[in-house]
Amino acid sequence: MSEDRSTDNAAVPEADDDHVAPATDAATAAEPAGRKRLTMLLIIAAVLFSLDLLTKCLAVAYVAPGEWVPIIGDFAGLKLVRNPGAAFSMATGMTWLLTLIAAAVVIGVIRIGRTLRSLWWAIGLGMVLGGAMGNLVDRLFRSPGPLQGHVVDFVAIGWWPVFNVADSAIVCGAILLVALTVFGFEPDGTRSGRKHTEKTA
């Protein structure tokens, strides 16, 4: 009987830790990478938000409403405008709705940022987040009141509508995100075309 028991125990295969370790190691390595991308996103957003707030305060303090301050002749200069609409003075009659959209964008970007593995996606989303926060603060705290606040615009270039740092950050960030999507770069750091090639190979 003792020989049979020893034979049965010997026949049971031992657990192979090698099959579990790679998945565990990959998950462990992905967590620091994700935190780094979120940190990068938040740093970019904070820098752009601070720059936007500072330049708006300077514009309000030193540029009279409607006054033209030339920088490059008649082509580029400063002109203080209170904008109730979206970027580049669009949708001027929907200030409250734009405020809610901006708040939703801020929340959405932060949630997406927690899963990021791509540096370029972190940069693009950081630009969008910084710009959205800059204009959101105007809508919440500037006159005529909460959810109705007018955004401070002050950069005038040629025929282009007057804008600010936040508008530029949002537009440039959105363009970068669209380009990343078109060329197949995923937020998780992979590339869709390469994944498809690997599966079919």
Cα 82 to Cα 134, 138, 191: the distances in Å are 14, 10, 42
Task: Name the residue type at position 151.
Answer: V
Give the DSSP letter of residue 152.
E
How many other C-beta atoms lie within 10 A of the C-beta of residue 41? 27
User: Please, what is the Cα angle at 187 between 185 and 192, to 5 degrees?
Assistant: 35
Catalytic residue numbers? 153, 167
How many other C-beta atoms lie within 10 A of the C-beta of residue 163? 21
CA R_g for the chain: 26
Alpha carbons 113 and 24: distance in angstroms, whole number: 22
